[in-house]
């Protein structure tokens, strides 16, 4: 009997200590069967409006094979085109693109033209997943402790320069943006080793504030995660900026009833052990 109780206790301890993927988007060719526009809200905005509804597509064909994935997200994008004399602003090509060049589907933010009168094209965008969309393996955790983030982002090359920041919201409702990362496959596995800056995508997602002071305990209750990226072109070149993959890992904080059960199992194991010692 004590072996059974010990195995139960071990199961709880292992499951509560292991980090799981709570956000996963990308690495698939069947997310869409054709280029699919994101919803209008946030298409040409400088702030994310969480009250306006999700930005991810609503079509039935969007992400049909979403097992183990988090397909719903919020987003915003902004583009600016500068002539040699006058600046002007236009809408952003803002969509889930279908396997360009035979590769995986991706999140696309494109902007501008190759008109030789244009000095540059700029695009800013953000994608954010809230804890309502986090994967939980069927459980009902009370929170999530951030352990790592990873993204694959690129652009159309040439004179285009791109970079991005990881974005998080913590239990104090404050937002933070990470240090800057160059395009490519970028990640971290220890949030305390990353520089974080004050940030608020609900005011202006393009603006990053002063350096924040965060400790390990601050990452124990993650409520949202995403990324913020920029792509700027040189003269006479349009911008295509792509996010191919995004993942967040976190340790689920078990609900109180699970913790209580784990405690009871531990006491039962100790009781059986002591009883056996007396014999």
Mean pLDDT computed over every residue of the chain: 83
Residue with tokens 């995004």: 246
Tens digit of each residue's pLDDT (9 = 90 or more) over 55-89: 999 988 999 999 899 999 999 999 887 765 445 55
pLDDT of residue 195: 98
pLDDT at 263 (0 to 100): 42
Tell me what pLDDT residue 148 has. 98
Q: What is the pLDDT of residue 116?
A: 60
Instruction: Please name the helix (run of DSSP H) or strand (run of DSSP E) that holds residue 88, with its range, or none.
Output: strand 87-88
- Would you state the pLDDT for residue 91? 62
Asked if residue 273 has pLDDT above 50, the reply is no
Q: What is the pLDDT, as a whole number, of residue 277?
A: 53
Give the DSSP letter of residue 220.
Answer: G
CA dihedral 18, 19, 24, 30 (to 10 degrees): -20
* CA-wise closest residue to 160 among 209, 231, 97: 231
42-51, 81-90, 201-210: which range is least confident on average? 81-90
Q: What is the pLDDT of residue 237?
A: 82
Q: Is 6 helix (H, G, I), strand (E, B) or coil?
A: helix
User: What is the arithmetic mean of pLDDT over 119-147?
Assistant: 89
How far apart, in whole angstroms, are the C-alpha atoms of residue 151 and residue 180? 12
Q: Which two tokens stand for residue 16?
A: 């509560």
pLDDT at residue 257 above 60? no
Q: Which of 2-6, 55-59, 166-170 has the lowest mean pLDDT?
A: 2-6
Query: Domain extents for the chain?
Result: 20-256
Residue 203 has pLDDT above 90, yes or no: yes
H or E element at residue 59: none
pLDDT at position 202:
97
At residue 208, the 3 state secondary structure works out as strand
- CB-CB neighbours of 247 under 10 Å: 19
For the cut 70, the answer to whether the pLDDT of residue 23 exceeds it is yes
229-248 pLDDT, tens digit each: 999 987 778 888 999 999 99
- For residue 141, what pLDDT band results from cuts at 50, 70 and 90? confident
Decide: 112 and 81 in contact? Cβ < 8 Å. yes
Query: How many whole angstroms separate alpha carbon 242 and alpha carbon 255?
Result: 38
- Higher-confidence position of 15 and 31: 31
Distance CA 96, CA 15 (A): 34
């Amino acid at each position: 009997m004590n072996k059974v109780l010990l195995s139960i206790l071990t199961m709880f301890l292992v499951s509560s200590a292991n980090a799981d993927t709570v956000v996963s988007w990308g690495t698939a060719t069947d997310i869409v069967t054709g280029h699919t526009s994101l919803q209008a809200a946030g298409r040409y905005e400088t702030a994310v409006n969480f009250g306006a509804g999700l930005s991810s597509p609503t079509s039935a064909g969007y992400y049909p094979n979403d097992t183990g994935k988090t397909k719903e997200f919020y987003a915003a994008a902004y583009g600016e085109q500068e002539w040699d004399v006058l600046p002007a602003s236009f809408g952003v090509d803002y969509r889930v693109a279908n396997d360009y060049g035979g590769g995986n589907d991706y999140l696309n933010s494109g902007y501008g033209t190759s008109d030789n009168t244009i000095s540059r094209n700029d695009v800013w965008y953000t994608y954010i997943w809230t804890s309502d969309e986090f994967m939980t393996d069927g459980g009902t955790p009370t929170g999530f402790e951030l352990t790592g983030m990873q993204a694959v982002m690129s652009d159309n090359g040439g004179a285009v320069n791109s970079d991005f920041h990881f974005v998080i919201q913590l239990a104090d409702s404050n937002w933070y943006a990470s240090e800057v990362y160059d395009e490519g496959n970028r990640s971290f596995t220890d949030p305390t080793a990353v520089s974080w800056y004050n940030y608020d995508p609900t005011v202006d997602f393009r603006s990053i504030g002063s350096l924040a002071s965060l400790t390990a305990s601050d990452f124990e209750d993650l409520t949202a995660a995403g990324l913020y990226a920029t792509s700027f072109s040189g003269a006479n070149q349009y911008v295509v900026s792509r996010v191919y993959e995004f993942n967040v890992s976190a340790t689920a904080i078990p609900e109180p009833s699970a913790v209580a059960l784990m405690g009871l199992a531990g006491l039962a194991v100790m009781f059986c052990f002591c009883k056996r010692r007396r014999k």
